[in-house]
Structure formats: C-alpha cells, structure tokens
Structure 1
C-alpha cells in the first residue's frame, strides 16, 4: 500500500476514534526543518521525509505523558528538531566511546552516527531509523536498555511500522513486540480530561 495512503488512513482513524491524538500531531515540517535533520551528513530516508511532510511529530507539551504516544509501545513521534538533536547526541556518544575505547558497547548498540531517532517513550525506549548502507537501511530499530534490546530490527521500514500500526488500530489486531509478545491500543480517559491511546 502506498505510504501516503497509510498516513491518510491513520489521520482518518484518529479523527474518527481518537481526536485528542490527532490534535497533538503537529502540522508538516518545513523543507528547511527536514533538511536540517541530517544536515549534509547523509541523505535522510525518503519515508522519514514523507512522514515529516505530513506531521512534524507531536506537540512538545504532550511529552511526557498525555496524548501523543500513538506508536506501538507508547512511542511519541519526534519532531524534526528532536530528530536532529537526537542524531547529534548519538554522534557525541560514539565519539566518547571511541575515546574511552568501549565502542563495542555503544556503536551499533545504543548509538550510531547514521541512526536518526524517530520516536521515544517516557521511559527512554527509542525507535531509530537506520541510515547505514546494507540490509537494514531504512529499517526501524528499537533500543530498550531494560529489555536489553540493542538496535534490534523492529520493522523493515517506516512505512511498514505505520501500516502495522494503522491495521492494529482499525482491526484490534495485536502488534508483535520485539521480545515475541503482543501489544494493542486502548483509548483511555485520563484524569485531566483528555483521552489517549495506551498500548498494553
């Protein structure tokens, strides 16, 4: 299914079933904001460009807690600036690991200069898009220190992640987790009067 169609279906489902989640999604990022994510380091993956051209992540006030954790596992999509800062933080982590000679515990596990953070949870779990040349280029990787997931491929592409998310929201079908379990979303009323998707 074309990625634009997947994102149209996501917006339509949220509008009909989870309007607070749609409300916190930002309008499109500008071309300048998108180009600054990788800033001539490498070419930003086309599917990331499509996503940011549709929604520039979630409103900053929505993190942490509240609506916005609409991706499986309760991940909040980052805006272009969050992606840019996250990629630069990874560059710094890699540089420090090389200085400390412990790169085997960092590079390709918790950070890489060609990983672009896509989303995160309030507990620090991250989804990153791999921009390294090779079989995992464009894949969405998961980093979760509590579960000892070190750059594990969660989805083969950004489009696959969103398609699986939309199908789960539309049908109630569970989404497999990186550890072999399952998760699905419930729309929950919060004490502050908002509603949010909670992945259980």
Structure 2
C-alpha cells in the first residue's frame, strides 16, 4: 500500500547506502545537492514550476560525474546517469526543439506527447541520448517516463518516483528482477551497478 512507502529522501538514502557498500564507483560518481538558487535557475529555464520529486532529487544529488565510456560508473539507474541542472536544461531544450520542428512540419500529432513534450523534465540520460523524465503534464503529473529515439512512443514506467526507488531498492537488495522494466541487477567488477535485460525480453532495447 502507498501508505507503507517511505518518503523519497529516505528511499534515495537507502539506495545511496546500497551503492556505497556494493557499487562504490557509482556512489563516488554522485555529486552533492544543488542550492535553492540553482533550482530557481532551472525553473526559470523550463518556464514552469518543478515537481517536488525533481526538487528532492536535485537537493540530494545534482547529477553525477558524467562518464566518458560504458566501463565507467555513474549509470546505475537502469543504465541511465542522473543529470545536473545544466544537463536537465540541455535535454529539455532538445525536447522543445523536437516539438517546434514537428509543428513546423505539420507532424505535431506524431511527436507531441509521444516522443517529446515541453512538459517532460529529463532527469537521467544514457550514452545514446535516451531519457528518463518526470512528466509535468496535468493528467500525468509525476509519472516516470522513458523516451527512446528508437521507439515511436514513450513508455510510462512508474506512476511516481518513490515507487521507482522502492522497486530499485528491493531489486538490488534481493538480487531480484525488476518487474516494471524487465531487467536484472548485476555488479561489474565490484564497483558499478549494471542492469541486464531479461532473456525473455531480449527483443527490447538494452
């Protein structure tokens, strides 16, 4: 039940603690939280107020030290790396550009709310540029989505970030498959967390 789920800060601290013990490279990649002034700069750049989950996450960690190769740590969120304020603004500008280009081309119905949207706030990115985002649209407020440039439409992964963190914590602590996104946690060289695609879901993107 939702009432049994700890707060987001507690869940992030639980996940951080697991990383510190089992994936020290990933834990070392975490950057300190950002000050309130950076949050305001982000909101000014986006043009709207942030969901509290994004505020909480940035207050704890202003992204990670971005890795230069796949063998470097920092992509512990299903293969995605947490973005800092500048990274969020850059990724959001890319989404806005996709929306504007689609409107100019008369292809708004194929793009807006499907593979890009002004009210998606990216918070993690993988090496190919795919994104995890917090949806800020009214009827999708707070949902965690995944946008892949190879897919015709985004996927809603979790209805809230606390549910995402709860599932991640349970999965890494038990070494069990992650249900909403069919992945299995694995440690690489005892220093970083990887997420292997489950065999029966091999048709999906890794």
Please say whether Structure 1 and Structure 2 have the same fold, judged by a TM-score greater than 0.5.
yes
Counterpart secondary structure, 2:153:
strand
CA distance in 1, matches of 2:68, 2:32: 17
Indicate if the aligned counterparts of 2:123 and 2:131 stay in contact, CA closer than 8 A. Answer: yes
Show structure 1 runs of 5+ residues with no match.
Answer: none
Indicate if the aligned counterparts of 1:33 and 1:81 stay in contact, CA closer than 8 A. Answer: no
Q: 1:85 aligns with which of 70, 90, 94?
A: 90
CA distance in 1, matches of 2:154, 2:176: 25
Q: How do 1:104-119 residues align onto structure 2 when only pairs under 5 Å count? A: 104-119=109-124
The alpha carbon displacement at 1:125 in A equals 2.3
Counterpart secondary structure, 1:59:
coil
Q: Taking structure 1 as the reference length, what is the TM-score of the superposition?
A: 0.88
Q: Structure 1 residue runs of 4+, over 6 Å off?
A: none
CA RMSD of aligned residues (A): 1.7
Q: 1:158 aligns with which of 142, 158, 161?
A: 161
2:194 alignment partner in structure 1: 198
Deviations 1:105-134 (A, max 9, x none): 211122111111111211232111100111
Is residue 136 of structure 2 the alignment partner of residue 127 of structure 1? no
The alpha carbon displacement at 1:63 in A equals 4.4
Indicate if the aligned counterparts of 1:142 and 1:149 stay in contact, CA closer than 8 A. Answer: no
1:184 alignment partner in structure 2: 184
The alpha carbon displacement at 1:149 in A equals 5.6
Q: 1:168 aligns with which of 149, 171, 190?
A: 171
2:49 alignment partner in structure 1: 43
CA distance in 1, matches of 2:180, 2:56: 25
The alpha carbon displacement at 1:64 in A equals 4.3
Q: Taking structure 2 as the reference length, what is the TM-score of the superposition?
A: 0.85
Deviations 1:12-49 (A, max 9, x none): 11111111110001011121222222316111010110
Show structure 2 runs of 5+ residues with no match.
Answer: 1-5, 197-206
CA distance in 2, matches of 1:161, 1:3: 10
